[in-house]
Amino acid sequence: MKRIVLAVVAAILVVTAGYFLYARFQPGGIPVYRASIVAALPHDGAAFTEGLFFQDGMLYEGTGEVGTSAIRQVKPETGQVLKEEQLPAPYFGEGIIAWKDRLYQVTWQDRTGFIYGLNDFAPRGTFAYSGEGWGLTHNGKSIIMSDGTPVLRFLDPETMAPVSTLRVTANGCPVEKLNELEWVDGEIYANIWQTNLIARIDPATGEVRGFLDVSALGPQARGQDDVANGIAYDAAGKRLFVTGKRWPQLYQVKAGERVSNSDEAARITTCAR
């Protein structure tokens, strides 16, 4: 009888351990959906996109690289640049976001951000921060900033001083290289640099609720740096736009079919990257 009991206990332990490992390491635990194209629109194929948002019928885009960094107002239907302000060397432009009548822009490694008038792009000042600057968005209360780590910063939009932080995880694993950000219907969307994935992040817990796979978008033969980057959301029209660095198209997309096997999601959700 003792042997039978021990055998049953051992079997239960094996099954429990197997279930735990399956739940812990299967990327299917966090759903991955393929981006389905609603519309493909023109986009400047020379733009090294680092920041993107939609407001009042217009796209605003921040571009990077030293010597070619800029902020732009773009007509989404045609890709026409209506207004532009260059960011001089040695600055490398990164994420941008609007707050009231101002537009904020961070830079990569210079620990300096720039403030412009939203309507005329006239310089209005600068602000400082520690570490690197990658992406920006806002939730109506705070400006949210990424810096390439798994930790998002929440900033006071009037002073740009840090208020709180949020550690982002997927299946318990820290999600590094969070890049361009967008606030979409109560969630934070984030490009994950050097992947084809956009993470949907719970702003209360930092947990990734799902991934959007954009691997079918953009030039299929492209340079190592020409990765997916740039998310904009038209909240009134419920339209989601995505693009990438030096991509000749801006895409309006929606979540399509579920992806059954994503190597990129598997690496992220098993702490393998």
For the segment 116-135, what is each residue's pLDDT rounded down to a tens digit? 999 999 999 999 999 999 99
Residue 159: pLDDT over 50 = yes
Two structure tokens written together for 109: 């490694």
Pick from 148, 115, 237, 146: which is nearest to 184 by CA? 237
Q: What is the pTM of this model?
A: 0.89
pLDDT of residue 31: 96
- Residues 227, 193 contacting (CB under 8 angstroms): yes
pLDDT of residue 14: 36
pLDDT of residue 220: 83
- Average pLDDT (216-229) is 89
Topology annotation, domain 31-269? Neuraminidase (2.120.10)
User: How far apart, in whole angstroms, are the C-alpha atoms of residue 118 and residue 107?
Assistant: 18
Residue 27: pLDDT over 50 = no
User: 3-class SS at 28?
Assistant: helix
User: What are the sequence ranges of the domains in the chain?
Assistant: 1-30, 31-269
- Residues 162, 123 contacting (CB under 8 angstroms): no
Q: Give the CA distances from residue 187 to residues 17, 184, 201, 210, 268, in Å, rounded to whole numbers and listed in that order.
A: 33, 5, 6, 11, 19
The letter for the amino acid at 121 is: F
Q: Give the CA distances from residue 28 to residues 172, 201, 214, 256, in Å, rounded to whole numbers and listed in that order.
A: 14, 16, 17, 16
- Location of structure tokens 């773009």: 74
- Give the distance, in angstroms, between the CA of residue 25 and the centroid of all CA atoms in the same chain: 23
User: How far apart, in whole angstroms, are the C-alpha atoms of residue 93 and residue 87?
Assistant: 7
Q: Which has the minimum average pLDDT: 103-107, 192-196, 258-262?
A: 258-262
Two structure tokens written together for 105: 């822009």
Q: 190: Cβ–Cβ under 8 A, 6 or more apart, which residues?
A: 135, 146, 168, 178, 179, 180, 181, 182, 198, 199, 201, 231
Residue 140: pLDDT over 80 = yes
Two structure tokens written together for 37: 């194209």
